A and B are shown apart, each in its own frame.
Chain A
Amino acid sequence: MESVIDIRGLSLSFTRDGETNEVLRGLDLAVPRGAFIAIVGSSGVGKSTLLRVLMGLAAKSAGEVTIATRSGQRQPLALVFQDSRLLPWRSVADNVAFGLEGGGLSKAERRAKAEAALDIVGLKHLAERWPHQLSGGQRQRVSLARALAVEPEVLLMDEPFSALDAITREGLQDELVRIWQVTGKTILFVTHDIEEATYLADRVVVLAGSPGRVVADHVLDAPRPRKRAVAADTGLVAGIRQHIGGETMIDGTGI
């Protein structure tokens, strides 16, 4: 299958106070178009760094990253941060339209695209609100809409639901699966929560070690809609936990 993102031999290290810290070493990953891939690993293993390299927010030390772009596409990748990072001085609609500015669209066209994106996440009725008037879950939906609005090839999501309460998180997980099915976007979803990864993704890539590298790559073919208990029961979760190694996972399940 055609890859939208092709990562070969990616390494990254940074030097601070004369001390060199190797974060990722020799990482290979091909992301097929339309896939929903979860990347799991404990904190500090370089999951977020990987997304930052893909976004061009951090510089790699070695390796190659190829990103397929359609012609005329302004932004092939869009990132949803862990904290929503909405701009507090912009209304919800203007936040969603943020990435569309400077792209030659008129204000009305940007507005229409922003409203369409808000409609996808079910928050069109809150378009005129200020961010501080939203709940945590709503803010994260707006952040997702902001990423969808630029019509990216791939959505990169950096632990987007980890700061939410359990009920809101489960709601948003189901919402994300629905959006993925409706839009056909490719999703690269970083999380430290193994249950979340196995519930959402087609494929779970496990990063471990220091420097971080891929230690396992599981394909999940459980039919959708999935039942939460099933994903947790298959033994896969325990298997992944073993791959991650002796590191303590703080996800509240306490297996």
Chain B
Amino acid sequence: MTDTTLTAPARKVAPPATLAAVRRIGLAALGLALFLALWESLPRLGLVNPMLLPTPSVIPAAFWAEIQSGAWASAVRASLGHYTIGLVLGSVLGLVLGIATGMSQLAEDMTSWVVRVLRPIPGLAWVPFAIIWFGVSPSSAVFIIAIGVFWIVFFAAHGAIRGVDRDLIEVADAFGFRSAWERLFKILLPAAMPGILVGVRTALGQAWMAVVAAEIFGVPGLGQRMIQASSLLATEIVVVYMLTMAALYGLLDTLFVAIQGWVLRWKA
């Protein structure tokens, strides 16, 4: 070793919290920039056929054109309509049945085999029936979305109600609240709320997938618009709608997390 200067080993000083945050954001931005640069360069360098992969630089113009023509707004409105109705229908049914089977052994025993048969059927396997029963119509999309949501919320509600601490139910008994109704509203529902909301949040994401799937079969909305664009090889428009979905889902999830935080503000 030729190094003769002896220095204390460099002590790593933890950067202040703000500095660390700035660094993290900087790295994230850098990563995104590199990703976009790579994406942009692949078609430009002729490594990928530009017909098959649009460059990111053409996306803003395509987005603007979609907004100008009114196609974007009408597709978003239609999809959000299917999404909301399907989500509400599936959640309400899942909640009601999940609570019923969670509270009543009779209801659980009665439904256990039916659940076992129906549960493994993928949501999309209902598409043929959706088309036979409702045609290629918004109801069809709502039906597909609601089925997926139903199972998630059903199991979440069932499990959450089942998991409520018996000791808390005894508190209701000790203060004279002994009817099923009083138990449900005074103890079970508030105690199960964290678990139920986790289920609803999962369903929120699951329902978006179902929206696209249902609309790909021709029900007007984001999914249908994507398929139209893809058949014309207008790949930049496909990307516009992919990003639209990501943004809508991100927005709804953020909104939901805020509401969830308020509802569960009693939690430590």
Specify the chain B residue showing the minimal Cβ separation from A51.
Answer: B174
Is the C-beta of A57 less than 8 angstroms from some C-beta in chain B? yes
**4 tightest A-B CB contacts, nearest first:** A99-B175, A132-B268, A89-B190, A89-B266
Stretch at the interface among B94-102, B147-155, B163-171: B163-171
| Minimum CB–CB distance for B176 against chain A, Å | 6
Is there an interface contact between B175 and A87, defined as CB atoms closer than 8 Å? no
- Once bound together, how far apart are the Cα atoms of A57 and B187, in whole Å? 17
Interface residues of B in 248-268 (CB under 8 A from A): 265-268
Partner of B266, one of A75, A78, A99, A130: A130
Given A78-B174, A89-B191, A91-B266, output 11 extra A-B contacts at Cβ < 8 Å: A55-B173, A74-B176, A75-B176, A81-B171, A87-B171, A87-B187, A88-B267, A99-B175, A101-B177, A130-B265, A150-B175
Is the C-beta of A102 less than 8 angstroms from some C-beta in chain B? yes
**B176: A residues at CB distance < 8 A:** 74-75, 99, 102
- Once bound together, how far apart are the Cα atoms of A42 and B186, in whole Å? 34
**A131: B residues at CB distance < 8 A:** 266
| Minimum CB–CB distance for B182 against chain A, Å | 7
Is there an interface contact between A75 and B175, defined as CB atoms closer than 8 Å? yes
Is there an interface contact between B174 and A79, defined as CB atoms closer than 8 Å? yes
Is the C-beta of A107 less than 8 angstroms from some C-beta in chain B? no
Most chain A CB inside 10 Å of its own CB: which residue of B167, B168, B175, B268 = B175
Is there an interface contact between A89 and B193, defined as CB atoms closer than 8 Å? yes
Is the C-beta of A124 less than 8 angstroms from some C-beta in chain B? no
Is there an interface contact between A57 and B267, defined as CB atoms closer than 8 Å? no
Interface positions of A (Cβ within 8 A of B): 55-57, 74-75, 78-79, 81, 83, 85, 87-91, 98-99, 101-102, 130-132, 150
Is there an interface contact between A132 and B167, defined as CB atoms closer than 8 Å? no
**A90: B residues at CB distance < 8 A:** 190, 266
- Once bound together, how far apart are the Cα atoms of A89 and B191, in whole Å? 8
- Once bound together, how far apart are the Cα atoms of A93 and B245, in whole Å? 44
**B168: A residues at CB distance < 8 A:** 85, 87
**B167: A residues at CB distance < 8 A:** 81, 83, 85
Specify the chain B residue showing the minimal Cβ separation from A132.
Answer: B268
- Once bound together, how far apart are the Cα atoms of A209 and B20, in whole Å? 66
Specify the chain A residue showing the minimal Cβ separation from B165.
Answer: A85
**A83: B residues at CB distance < 8 A:** 167
Is there an interface contact between B175 and A98, defined as CB atoms closer than 8 Å? yes
Q: Tell me whether A57 and B266 are in contact in the complex, defined as CB-CB below 8 angstroms, given that A87-B187, A89-B191 are known contacts.
A: no
Contact with A along B177-199 (1 / 0, CB 8 A): 10000100011001101000000
- Once bound together, how far apart are the Cα atoms of A254 and B165, in whole Å? 35
**B173: A residues at CB distance < 8 A:** 55-57
**A75: B residues at CB distance < 8 A:** 175-176
Partner of A102, one of B170, B177, B193: B177
- Once bound together, how far apart are the Cα atoms of A60 and B267, in whole Å? 38
Partner of A132, one of B170, B182, B267: B267
| Minimum CB–CB distance for A174 against chain B, Å | 26
Most chain A CB inside 10 Å of its own CB: which residue of B168, B170, B191, B266 = B266
- Once bound together, how far apart are the Cα atoms of A79 and B191, in whole Å? 21
**B193: A residues at CB distance < 8 A:** 89
Is there an interface contact between A85 and B182, defined as CB atoms closer than 8 Å? no
Specify the chain B residue showing the minimal Cβ separation from A85.
Answer: B171
12 A-B contacts (beta carbon < 8 Å): A55-B174, A57-B174, A75-B176, A78-B175, A81-B174, A85-B167, A85-B168, A87-B171, A89-B266, A90-B266, A98-B171, A98-B186
- Once bound together, how far apart are the Cα atoms of A98 and B190, in whole Å? 14
| Minimum CB–CB distance for A42 against chain B, Å | 23
Interface residues of B in 129-178 (CB under 8 A from A): 167-168, 170-171, 173-177
Q: Tell me whether A87 and B174 are in contact in the complex, defined as CB-CB below 8 angstroms, given that A130-B266, A132-B268 are known contacts.
A: no
